[in-house]
Amino acid sequence: MSTSQNQVLRMLAMVPYLQGNDGVPVAEVAREFGVTAKQIRDDLKVLMYTGIGEFPGELIDFDVTALQEHGVVHIRDAEFLTRPLRISAQEGAALIVALRTLRASAAGDELTVVDAALAKLESAMGEQVHAPVDVVLDEVDPGIRATVGRALAEGRRLDMTYATETRDAQSRRQVDPRRMFTERGRLYLEAWCLSAEDLRFFRLDRVVTADVTDTPVDVHDATSRDVSDGMFTVGEQTPFALVQLHPAAHWMTEYYPVELVEEGTDGVWTAKLFGADWNWLRRLVLRNAGALRVLEPEHLVTDVAGAARSALSAYDEDESSV
């Protein structure tokens, strides 16, 4: 479970605890919830902006003086949590669409929970929500999705065969799954790829085979990425660079919009690499220096070379000053 999910669950449990233990020391709250006193103080700061509105009495409040000077917690104006939740038709429709989207990537016990919540919400909204909404994803083998869901639930490594989007090839991968999600009508798996030694996104409709192994997933020091950052529609005016991809950069064909031009016998591929703008392409090339070389356009070649020279000269100046 992610840090943010843990925090939400902790704060939901913390409110009734604080209501039943008025004046409890922060240190005692921290021991009760198994976190540091600093984390509890951070949680309280978030709770102070939580409520049903934006005016006094509609937001949870605390006795700030008692908290800062004496380290004790007095909670106020949290009684609204016991009131029945009332939502508008617009909010209900948004929640229904969100649950249907979540359902598309759920499996096993998660699917049961989502279906139960969706049924209750649709029953509660009744005729207030008239427009039927269907969430349509690219077709994924139900067996593949169930296998990936089981690996996530059990914390087990996956052994899978994956078809690369930009070329007619398949590869065998062992991955440590982290999460499954939907993005622009497609179902994705974020996982640590053992062969790439990095996080990767895998489209589930391109997973050919998948098996759950007996090996527990390892904990990897990596921050989740937002797949939408690299997703955009390639059009006639989209900037692109003609590049050479050395083996260490082959992973880009699966992560970024790439049109493969030629696969060299020496392992160096020629490809069109598309980007949101020239600055983004320049940064990507510089981050992967040594594994990626720009061939065209000339202005990008010059720009990258100039940025590289400036960076190297900065290192030379630092060394000369020592």
pLDDT at 213: 95
Q: Is the pLDDT of residue 114 over 90?
A: no
CA atoms lying within 13 Å on the CB side of residue 102? 16
Q: How far apart are CA 181 and CA 94, in angstroms?
A: 18
pLDDT confidence bin for 79, thresholds 50/70/90: low
Q: Which residue has the higher pLDDT, 96 or 41?
A: 41
Q: How far apart are CA 284 and CA 256, in angstroms?
A: 11
Q: How far apart are CA 159 and CA 156, in angstroms?
A: 10
Q: How far apart are CA 299 and CA 223, in angstroms?
A: 33
The answer, as to whether pTM is greater than 0.85, is no
Q: Is the pLDDT of residue 318 over 60?
A: no
pLDDT at 230: 45
Q: What is the mean pLDDT of the segment spanning 238-262?
A: 84
pLDDT at 80: 56
Query: At the top level of CATH, which class does the domain 3-82 belong to?
Result: mainly alpha
Query: At the top level of CATH, which class does the domain 232-320 belong to?
Result: alpha beta
Query: Can 3-82 and 142-228 be said to share one CATH topology?
Result: no
Architecture of domain 142-228: Roll (2.30)
- pLDDT tens digits, residue range 252-276? 887 777 888 888 888 899 999 888 7
Domain extent listing, the chain: 3-82, 89-128, 142-228, 232-320
Q: How far apart are CA 88 and CA 96, in angstroms?
A: 12
Lowest mean pLDDT among 81-95, 247-261, 275-289: 81-95
- pLDDT tens digits, residue range 145-167? 889 989 988 999 999 998 865 55
Structure tokens given for 41: 């103080």
Q: Which residues pair with 179 in a beta bridge?
A: 190
Q: Which segment, 167-181, 207-221, 257-271, is predicted with the most confidence on average?
A: 207-221
- pLDDT tens digits, residue range 31-77? 999 889 999 998 888 888 777 666 666 678 888 888 888 899 998 87
pLDDT at 107: 62
